[in-house]
Structure formats: structure tokens, C-alpha cells
Amino acid sequence: MAESKSVGKAWGRDEVRHAVLRAARTKFAAKGMSVTLRELAQDAGVNLGLIHKHLGNKDDIVRAVLVRNSQQSANVVESVESLADAVRRLFLVGVADPDYVRIVTWLILEGRTDLLPADEADGGAILARIDQSSDSADVRIMLGLAAIAGWSLFGSEILNNADDAGSDRVNVELRMADLLAAIVELPEFAPGKVKSP
């Protein structure tokens, strides 16, 4: 007997992939790797067997969710000429998509860096391509990544608790991106100027 399609259920390959990846993005950002494929199937409105058929296992799904953002980040910095501009642009990309940063954070906390795209696994290969000229590049890259992660994870709470909680978030983030770009260009970060404590 042929199985009838339920109304509202995704059945085609592309339909299933899209529904599962959308649900996975939200679930992995909220719960990390503790999400089950059964939960994803339920949230996506698809049959569990179709997940295995069209996407594979949970690790494959995490990689598929992250690959789009990794490519986007690489494209963002492809045309920049300075580390400051790259940090500014990546900050704005990161804060525009906090779910991605949350998923990466979960993977790092859970010791699953093997699932990170190659450019993310070492904590800044994308930014390192921009400025390989100095010993201080690592410090500036770490500062940029810390700002992106910190604001993406805690920006809403910081704004809610700030005296100026009614601020226009977009304006605040644009100003922060400019400030971060200026900080990584400070003379103190010039080659040979970074001192150990």
C-alpha cells in the first residue's frame, strides 16, 4: 500500500533538506549537539528516514548548516585590503547571524571542533589571510574573534541592561564595528610593539 503524503510535510529532496537545515540551525544554536535527529524531524515536519536519506547523520547536518556561513565569511573578506576592514565586516556578519556563532560556540565547548569548517577550526584562518605580516596579527585576530563572539552571544543582554536600553541596535553595532576596526589599527599593535606581561 502506498504511503500518502501528509499535508504540511516536506517530501522532496530539496524540500526535506531546506526544512531540516532551517530547523537544525535553530535547534543547534539553542541546544548544541544534544539535539536528536528525532527532534529535527519533528521540528522540520519530515519523516526521520528522509533525514538519513537526504542529509545523513547529525554530524553531516551540522557541517551543512555551517558551510553556508563559512563561505559567506570567506566572501566578505575576499576583497578587503586590511585586517581592520576584515574585522569590521566580519563583526557585522557575525552579529547579523548570532545562531551561527552560538553553534560554533557549542561545538567548541563540547569538544567537537572536528565539525567546524576548515576556516573556523583554527580560530581565524580567514582573518590570518589578510594580515600575515606581523607578530601582532594573532593578537588582533583574537581580539576580533572575541568581539564577534562576545557581542553575538551577549549583545542582547548587554543592551537590555545598559542605561541606554532603548538604543537602536543597528546603530550601536555599526559604531562598535568601526571602533573595533580602529582598535586593531592602533600603533600599539604594530609589529614588535606587543609586549608580554
Torsions phi, psi for 190 (to 5 deg)? -65, 155
Based on the domain organization, do 25 and 72 belong to the same domain? no
Domain of 142, in residue numbers: 67-189
Angle ∠(101,36,122) on CA atoms, nearest 5: 30
Helices (H) and strands (E) in the chain, counts: 10, 0
CA 3 → CA 6, 7, 19, 113, 161, distances in Å? 9, 13, 20, 40, 53
How confident is the model at residue 6, as a pLDDT?
46
pLDDT digits (tens, 9 = 90+) for 20-30: 999 999 999 99
**Is the pLDDT confidence value at 183 over 80?**
yes
Based on the domain organization, do 91 and 48 belong to the same domain? no
Its pTM surpasses 0.85: no
pLDDT digits (tens, 9 = 90+) for 49-98: 999 999 999 999 999 999 877 777 777 777 777 788 888 888 888 888 88
Q: How many domains does the chain contain in total? A: 2
Based on the domain organization, do 118 and 48 belong to the same domain? no
